[in-house]
Amino acid sequence: MDKSENVCPLLKNPSVYNPDTIDLVNDTKERKYWLPCLANMVKKFVGKASFLNPDYPEAAESAEICFQKFHELVVKAVEDPSILEPLSIRTLLEFNEDNLQANNFKDAWYTQKVSESSAALKEFKDRIDFIDSIADFEARWLEIVTGVLAGNVFDWGSTVVADILETSTNFGFTQAMSTIEKRPWFRDNLDNWIDRIKKESYKEAVIFVDNAGVDFILGILPLVREFLKQNTRVILTGNTSPALNDVTYDELKLYSQEAAKNCPIIEKAINTDQLVMVENGQKGPCLDLANLSPELCQVMTSADLVVLEGMGRAVHTNLYAKFTVDSVKLAVLKNEWLAKSLGGQQFSVIFNYETAT
């Protein structure tokens, strides 16, 4: 297969593109932090495996096997980064997902995703009704974007968030909205983006989505709906294979159709191909824009906006990626080390709007 079929057609310099933001090969300090950090995340799953996979009697034992394999790799990689080519947060997380798949975890977080998505769908109508009640253009878009950021807090791949979700019985979307830092955010050119949208709607936006549940249904879908109201065609793209609690392509279709039952705008858009869903070719929670599905590459050639949501897709990877069209990279920094390495603090917000270059 021609590898150019897999390269994002909107990348500015694909020949020099490197998806990985953090250099684990040459930066010993970063390597010594991130490898144990990721191992700890993988280890935490062992304790949840049986609960999350009730139909899999050997879930805990299999999860322990996966952890041991990951731990062995990490121990070797601390001293010899050439053991995985290339060694990065992205490839380590893909290695973990491969292990899970090989040990009969077809979708390790499926139960959690179903539970969160069902609960979020019950709140969806109230959420879009509230957004519609905001008459002021700028205030409405600020509410929508803040909602995307609040939804992105619900990330089981983040240790600090997992601790909050496990210990709090009433941490929901409303509580997450109140955790988003006050503006100006750590990286904040939202006003410039809203000015751009006010002057002229985008023709076609491609959105790389992150987590299932609250993130997708109460964060991303209201954003999609607002684009549709401006006659922007929207391409939603999710993972081909399961990874953590990230929304998959199949779930994109399912939950968009469920939400459409309470939203004529989304329903009409699905029926007229104004809203389309495409798999992205990824199997981990990060994003390699040089290894997309050929179908996505084909369908996104006419897009004039790329939206990358979440730490995995917009910070761990692609923070410095340049596009030939406008792009928005937005995420909540849910890791203190990462936030400080960028000059921010835990739960700082990144909203990077970059114009076409």
The pLDDT value recorded for residue 1 is 47
Give the range of the structural domain holding residue 58, as residue numbers without chain letter.
23-102
- Cite the beta strand spans of 226-298 per DSSP E: 233-238, 275-279
What's the number of domains the chain is made of? Answer: 2
Looking at the structure, do residues 148 and 290 belong to the same domain, yes or no? yes
Q: Is residue 284 part of a domain?
A: yes
- Residues 316, 339 contacting (CB under 8 angstroms): no
Strands 275-279 and 305-309, sheet pairing: unpaired
Mean pLDDT, the chain, integer: 95
What one-letter code names the amino acid at 264?
P
- The verdict on pTM exceeding 0.85 is yes
What one-letter code names the amino acid at 348?
S
Of 153, 47, 63, the closest CA to residue 101 belongs to 63
The pLDDT value recorded for residue 160 is 82
Looking at the structure, do residues 28 and 142 belong to the same domain, yes or no? no
Looking at the structure, do residues 176 and 282 belong to the same domain, yes or no? yes
Q: What is the mean pLDDT of residues 195-206?
A: 98
| pLDDT band (50, 70, 90) for residue 37 | very high
What are 240-251's pLDDT values in tens digits? 999 999 999 999
What are 1-29's pLDDT values in tens digits? 456 899 999 999 999 999 999 999 999 99
Residue 211 sits in a domain whose CATH number is: 3.40.50.10880
The gap between the terminal CA atoms of the chain, to the nearest Å, is: 29
Q: Give me the sheet containing 204-208, strands edge to edge.
A: 187-188, 349-354, 326-332, 305-309, 204-208, 233-238, 275-279
What are 131-186's pLDDT values in tens digits? 999 999 999 999 999 999 999 998 877 778 878 878 777 789 999 999 899 999 99
Distance CA(309)–CA(246), nearest Å, equals 11
Say if residue 73's pLDDT is above 70: yes
Looking at the structure, do residues 91 and 162 belong to the same domain, yes or no? no
Looking at the structure, do residues 65 and 168 belong to the same domain, yes or no? no
Looking at the structure, do residues 313 and 189 belong to the same domain, yes or no? yes
